[in-house]
Amino acid sequence: MGEFDLIARFFTRPGRGEGGVVVQGIGDDCAVLGPTPGMQWLVSTDMLVEGRHFLSTVAPERLGHKALAVNLSDLAACGATPRAFFLSLALPRADETFLAGFAEGLFALADVHGIVLAGGDTTAGPLNISITVMGEAPRGQALLRDGARPGDQIWVSGRLGDARLALEMFRGRVALPGEQFQRVRDAMECPQPRVALGQALRGLASSAIDLSDGLLGDLGHVLKRSGVGATLALAALPRSEVLAAQPAALQRLCLLAGGDDYELVFTAPAAEQAAVRAAAAACATPVTCVGCIDAQAGLRVLDEAGQFLSAMPDGFDHFKS
Ligand code: ADP
Ligand code: MG
């Protein structure tokens, strides 16, 4: 199977490619996109590298899902509506079983969010998956990292830490019974990007970010860009029953520095509390208030006894860990 057969067979979907913003999709030198009047483009790229972002044990369907999910999560964090994406693939070989599974997982998630594959690039090489997503938001309404203000409440969606717990399990540092392992493994391999919540928070949240590298590190980016500090309550951080049954130190690590959660962290004025709850309920996404923004710089964490934590786990950094 050659490069062009591969693209035609696995990544071209007749009748599904064009429409909406995609005027011309796969098959020419460029895709042609037409923005919706009054909207701005939001564009983000994320690359997945074997051994670093995923393990060789992951099923191809799940890899296809996750590659797109982590990109959709960036659109969600900015409150964007997903429109089109581009897929660059380096493949060691044209393995049909792998490609069929990968495409199945990828397009299943793409169809849920109405995003169209509009082009890409395919080459031989060590397995590497790079996706660029394009979304839209009304002019000036994108959620950014720089709007958090003292007195704002800090919210997170869903539950934190299960993906990290699964990673610790794969690393042989934690033992879990089969059924519990399956649940945290699902969190790691099949994250559900909070696209509906992100859009519902437009005009409501003062800042937002998605959690890819751990709560402390990712919230730290918001604090820096906004020129503020924050206090978090450890006891308030939402966690699964599986994580809640683990030793306290492991829970802290997974909750504060977990990574791979793909939940949203956002801030909103305290006066908007009821509106935030209503917006989240309207898209059936659980949200929890976990702290507040302070004028004082720095990030403080109160433990279960109301004492400030002195030592905090590090977030993920590709060039440090
Ligand atoms: P070029 O030679 O101009 O780089 P290619 O031959 O790489 O173009 O690609 C041919 C067409 O197939 C282009 O429209 C490109 O966007 C599309 N394409 C290539 N690889 C992929 C892929 N993995 N997924 C989707 N579309 C792809
Ligand atoms: Mg090319």
Map out the domains of the chain as residue ranges: 3-138, 153-302
Residue 17 has pLDDT above 80, yes or no: no
Which of 7, 22, 63 for mutating ligand 1's site (highest number of atoms within 8 Å of CB)? 7
Summarize the confidence of residues 134-149 as an average pLDDT.
Answer: 98
pLDDT tens profile 105-136: 999 999 999 999 999 999 999 999 999 999 99
Q: Is 76:198 a contact under the CB 8 Å cutoff?
A: yes
Going by their DSSP bridges, the two strands 153-157 and 229-233 should be labelled as unpaired
Exposed/middle/buried for 178, CB within 10 Å: 0-12, 13-18, 19+?
exposed
Say how far apart CA 95 and CA 82 lie, in whole Å: 29
Taking the centre of ligand 1 as the mean of its atom positions, its distance from the CA of residue 115, in whole angstroms, is 18
pLDDT tens profile 34-83: 989 999 999 999 999 998 888 888 999 999 999 999 999 999 999 999 99
Say how far apart CA 290 and CA 156 lie, in whole Å: 7
Q: Assess whether the region 3-138 and the region 153-302 belong to the same CATH fold.
A: no
Summarize the confidence of residues 281-291 as an average pLDDT.
Answer: 98
Q: Looking at residue 179, what is its pLDDT? A: 95
H or E stretch at 217: helix 215-226
Q: What residue's CA is closest to ligand 1, atom 5? A: 121
Q: Looking at residue 315, what is its pLDDT? A: 64
Residues whose Cβ atom is located within 5 A of ion ligand 2: 121
Summarize the confidence of residues 17-36 as an average pLDDT.
Answer: 90
Spell out which residues line ligand 1, taking CB within 6 angstroms.
7, 11, 26-29, 87, 89, 117, 119-122
Taking the centre of ligand 2 as the mean of its atom positions, its distance from the CA of residue 57, in whole angstroms, is 29
Please name which ligand lies nearest the alpha carbon of 9: 1
Q: What residue's CA is closest to ligand 1, atom 21? A: 120
Q: What residue's CA is closest to ligand 1, atom 11? A: 27
Q: Looking at residue 318, what is its pLDDT? A: 65
Exposed/middle/buried for 181, CB within 10 Å: 0-12, 13-18, 19+?
middle
52-66 burial: b if 16+ Cβ within 10 Å, else e: ebbeeebebbbbbbb
In three-state form (DSSP H/G/I as H, E/B as E, the rest C), the secondary structure along 90-114 is EECCCCHHHHHHHHHHHHHHHHHHC
Q: Looking at residue 313, what is its pLDDT? A: 78
pTM of the entire structure? 0.95
Give me the CATH topology for the region 153-302.
Phosphoribosyl-aminoimidazole Synthetase; Chain A, domain 2 (3.90.650)
Q: Looking at residue 312, what is its pLDDT? A: 79
Q: 254 pLDDT band (50/70/90 cuts)?
A: very high
Q: Looking at residue 52, what is its pLDDT? A: 87
Summarize the confidence of residues 292-299 as an average pLDDT.
Answer: 97
Q: 1 pLDDT band (50/70/90 cuts)?
A: confident
Taking the centre of ligand 1 as the mean of its atom positions, its distance from the CA of residue 130, in whole angstroms, is 13
Summarize the confidence of residues 160-173 as an average pLDDT.
Answer: 95
Residue 321 has pLDDT above 60, yes or no: no
Q: Looking at residue 319, what is its pLDDT? A: 63
- For the chain, the average pLDDT equals 95
**Dihedral class, residue 79 (left if φ above 0, else alpha if ψ from -120 to 50, else beta):** left
Q: Is the dihedral of CA 162, 168, 169, 171 positive or negative?
A: positive
Summarize the confidence of residues 215-233 as an average pLDDT.
Answer: 98
Summarize the confidence of residues 176-182 as an average pLDDT.
Answer: 95
Which of 121, 129, 131 for mutating ligand 1's site (highest number of atoms within 8 Å of CB)? 121
Please name which ligand lies nearest the alpha carbon of 90: 1
Q: What residue's CA is closest to ligand 1, atom 20? A: 121
Give me the CATH topology for the region 3-138.
60s Ribosomal Protein L30; Chain: A; (3.30.1330)
Q: Is the dihedral of CA 235, 240, 245, 251 positive or negative?
A: negative
Q: Is 46:131 a contact under the CB 8 Å cutoff?
A: yes
Please name which ligand lies nearest the alpha carbon of 4: 1
